[in-house]
């Protein structure tokens, strides 16, 4: 995985956390859920790529 891809995944996690926080503060359940989903997707891709990197070495 390239550094650019890893950066995108980290950004997705951070943006998801921001969405979740804003959603909680504004009582927007949909935004909160979307933020949690984005965080999980970013984390999942990072874990998958980390495992691939470890197997490749």
Residue 36: which residues within 8 A CB-CB, separation 6 or more? 16, 20
Domain boundaries, the chain: 3-52
> Does residue 45 contact residue 53 with C-beta atoms inside 8 Å?
no
On average, the pLDDT of the chain sits at 92
28 secondary structure, DSSP code:
-
pLDDT class of 36 with cuts at 50, 70, 90: very high
Coil, helix or strand for 45? helix
Residue 21: which residues within 8 A CB-CB, separation 6 or more? 35
Q: Is the pLDDT of residue 3 over 90?
A: no
Helices of type H across the chain? 3-25, 29-56
């Amino acid at each position: 995985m390239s550094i650019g891809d890893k950066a995108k995944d980290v950004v997705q996690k951070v943006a998801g956390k921001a969405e979740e926080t804003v959603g909680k503060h504004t009582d927007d359940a949909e935004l909160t859920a979307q933020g949690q989903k984005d965080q999980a997707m970013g984390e999942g891709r990072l874990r998958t790529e980390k495992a691939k990197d470890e197997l490749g070495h």
